[in-house]
């Protein structure tokens, strides 16, 4: 899904960019770009997922819902 932003009346370029960046962060786009910047071996990906799930179990946190 493409992120589209229309300029509001009287909105400066800096305000528009700030809104765009916040929307990108909210969609998880910035995290995804950073994660894909370098190749990650499948075994490393599994290890990272296992560490993340073990932290969740230790703290007793419930998994978040995805929309």
Domains identified in the chain, total number: 1
Per-residue pLDDT tens over the stretch 38-59? 999 999 999 999 998 887 777 7
Is 62's pLDDT higher than 70?
no
pLDDT at position 56 is 76
The Cα-based distances of 19 to 1, 7, 8, 48 in angstroms read 17, 10, 11, 31
For residue 26, count CB atoms less than 10 angstroms from its CB and return exposed for 0-12, middle for 13-18, buried for 19 or more: exposed
If one counts every other C-beta atom within 10 angstroms of the C-beta of residue 29, the result is: 13
Per-residue pLDDT tens over the stretch 7-40? 999 999 999 999 999 999 999 999 999 999 999 9
Question: Is 66 among the domain residues?
Answer: no
Question: Is 3 among the domain residues?
Answer: no
Asked whether 29 and 3 are in contact (CB, 8 A), the reply is: yes
Question: Is 49 among the domain residues?
Answer: yes
pLDDT at position 3 is 86
């Amino acid at each position: 899904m493409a992120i589209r932003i229309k300029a509001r009346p009287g909105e400066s370029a800096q305000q528009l960019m700030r809104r765009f960046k916040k929307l990108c962060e909210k969609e998880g786009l910035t995290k995804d770009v950073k994660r894909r910047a370098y190749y990650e071996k499948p075994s490393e990906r599994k290890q990272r997922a296992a560490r993340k799930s073990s932290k969740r179990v230790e703290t007793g946190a419930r998994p978040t819902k995805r929309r």
